[in-house]
Amino acid sequence: MASQETDLGDLPLFAATKKVYPQSVSGPYRRAKWIILALCLGVYYLLPFLRWDRGPNLPDQAVLLDIANARFYFFFIEIWPQEVYYFTGLLILAAFILFMMNAVAGRVWCGYLCPQTVWTDLFLVVERFFEGDRRERIKLDEGPWTPNKIWRKSAKHFVWLMIAWWTGGAWVLYFADAPTLVRDLATLQAPFTAYAFIAILTFTTYALAGIMREQVCNYMCPWPRIQAALTDDDALNVTYRYDRGDPRVSLRQAERLRAKNEPAGDCIDCRQCVAVCPTGIDIRDGAQLDCIQCGLCIDACDNVMEKISRPKGLIGYDTDDNVKRRIAGEKPVYNPLRLRTMIYAALILLVGGAMVYQLATRRTVELSVLHDRAPLFVLLSDGSIRNAYTIRILNKRPDERPVALRVHGVPGLRIEAVGVTATADLRPIVSVPPDTSREVRVLVTVPADVHVNPTQTITFTASDLFAGEVVTVQDHFIAP
């Protein structure tokens, strides 16, 4: 590879920020982005206020992360800390859905759904409202600090901070009863943590969506790097069709060239695609790391094509292979159903199915048994042998439940629970308070005349006397 020698002196330590002034645009992609933005923000800000009746002992907030009581509520689902694998499942599912979107149509997440994109879009609306569109903003920035400029700039930053503040404010509402917390926040009664988190999120929202914007995607986010490694030749990407666009000439020259039957591209080099780009790149340079594939350049280009009466779609969702095929006179090939997407779809179904199955067959009574480590067994004065166990019974229902304990596996086994006096047919009845667990020490005794092996499997059964739910756990009985 040839290289040219230049005297640059010392290399620069940093790259100065090139400010991007995205221009407003209209079209189907922009419209889709508005709808997604409204939905995402609507859900984010309003969801904490949605109520969901769970009965008298439990909170009635539809989505609540109750850290103090270690419970997560999501509509009809209540997750205990030991069920955190549901979150693992959700994260795995999210990863596969991300890969799937990427395999079908590139960076759909980045362009439409990522909070960074959604909030940056929202902040840009505010910026345009106070400072005007691209040209006015560039002019304003270049101009001197007039009262007009000061007013516009400070109004913009004020509204940004307000939005950022509401963003942080909505965040903490997911961790406590929202209406109560709003009242407490307003009357300065809320815990310090709430204010601290609001402050942190106000700062991050303001900095990420207002000031850093595309730099978050370019420098901070790992996904563009991972995405580049995951993509393949069949994934649709926002693509400039240079087979149609090049050579780029002016509208008038194109007409002249076409009249002479000479090649002329549809791209008139109007740079509208660059002006509207929120990351300030030129899509005509091909696929690149900085491109979040939001499709706004498609809208911008289609609008221009319509004006100059050329077919739309000079920039569109396509693949580089298809561009090459067109040049070679072949038909474009689209493979949304290929091995990769099918494997992703299968994995999504598998993980999702496993989670739904797990949730559907989830028990509301659980039993865990822990054999005493020391002593392993106890010889009683009449020669019978006793093992002790620590048993924990979980009650995931909002009402107190009596649970009967039974054990079998060795003839003549006796079971008693320390501190539990209630029994039925010699089975101890342990009353477990609502939405919590109770630990009891359980003594299991084999009479002296029954022969037991040094290690014997026995089965504990906990039966909920109200709902009839039964759980069994196997453990060992140890003898000399």
* Six token digits for residue 61: 């907030």
Q: How far is the CB of 280 from another protein (least distance, A)?
A: 14
Residues 6+ apart with CB under 8 A from 426: 414, 415
Count, residues near another protein per rule CB under 8 A? 37
First to last CA, the chain: 80
Element containing residue 53 per DSSP (H, E): none
Are 268 and 244 in contact by the 8 Å Cβ rule? The answer is no
Nearer of residues 384 and 461 to another protein, judged by Cβ: 384
**Rounded distance, CA 213 to CA 277, Å?**
12
14 binds another protein, rule: CB under 8 A: yes
Q: How far is the CB of 112 from another protein (least distance, A)?
A: 26
Q: How far is the CB of 212 from another protein (least distance, A)?
A: 8
Nearer of residues 375 and 411 to another protein, judged by Cβ: 375
Phi/psi at 294 (5° precision): -85, -10
Nearer of residues 338 and 371 to another protein, judged by Cβ: 371
Q: How far is the CB of 15 from another protein (least distance, A)?
A: 4
Which stretch, 91-99, 141-149, 286-294, 369-377, contacts another protein (CB under 8 A)? 369-377
Which stretch, 4-12, 19-27, 97-105, 136-144, contacts another protein (CB under 8 A)? 4-12
Residue 8's CB is within 10 A of a number of other CB atoms, namely: 7
For residue 475, list its beta bridge partners.
458
Considering only 9, 81, 147, 222, the residue that binds another protein (CB under 8 A) is 9
222 binds another protein, rule: CB under 8 A: no
Nearer of residues 97 and 385 to another protein, judged by Cβ: 385
Burial of 426 (0-12, 13-18, 19+ CB in 10 A): exposed
Nearer of residues 169 and 278 to another protein, judged by Cβ: 278
68 binds another protein, rule: CB under 8 A: no
**Rounded distance, CA 433 to CA 428, Å?**
16
229 binds another protein, rule: CB under 8 A: no
Are 57 and 435 in contact by the 8 Å Cβ rule? The answer is yes
Nearer of residues 182 and 388 to another protein, judged by Cβ: 388
Phi/psi at 449 (5° precision): -85, 0
129 binds another protein, rule: CB under 8 A: no
Considering only 212, 273, 275, 479, the residue that binds another protein (CB under 8 A) is 212
Residue 91's CB is within 10 A of a number of other CB atoms, namely: 11
Which stretch, 30-38, 186-194, 275-283, 371-379, contacts another protein (CB under 8 A)? 371-379
12 binds another protein, rule: CB under 8 A: yes
Q: If DSSP states are collapsed to H, E and C, what string results for 407-475?
A: EECCCCCEEEECCCCCEECCEEEEEECCCEEEEEEEEEEECCCCCCCCEEEEEEEEEECCCCCEEEEEE
* Six token digits for residue 464: 């909920």
Element containing residue 478 per DSSP (H, E): strand 470-478
Are 197 and 171 in contact by the 8 Å Cβ rule? The answer is yes
Q: How far is the CB of 433 from another protein (least distance, A)?
A: 9
Nearer of residues 468 and 480 to another protein, judged by Cβ: 480
Nearer of residues 216 and 359 to another protein, judged by Cβ: 216
Chain positions 373 to 412 lying near another protein, rule: CB under 8 A, are 373-375, 378-383, 386, 388
Q: How far is the CB of 3 from another protein (least distance, A)?
A: 5
Nearer of residues 93 and 388 to another protein, judged by Cβ: 388
Which stretch, 65-73, 162-170, 342-350, 367-375, contacts another protein (CB under 8 A)? 367-375
Q: How far is the CB of 381 from another protein (least distance, A)?
A: 4
Q: To 10 degrees, what angle do helices 178-186 and 192-205 make?
A: 90
Residues 6+ apart with CB under 8 A from 173: 48, 49, 181, 182
Chain positions 428 to 457 lying near another protein, rule: CB under 8 A, are 441, 443, 448
17 binds another protein, rule: CB under 8 A: yes
The residues of the shown chain that bind another protein, judged by CB under 8 A, are: 1-17, 212, 215, 219, 372-375, 378-383, 386, 388, 418-419, 441, 443, 448
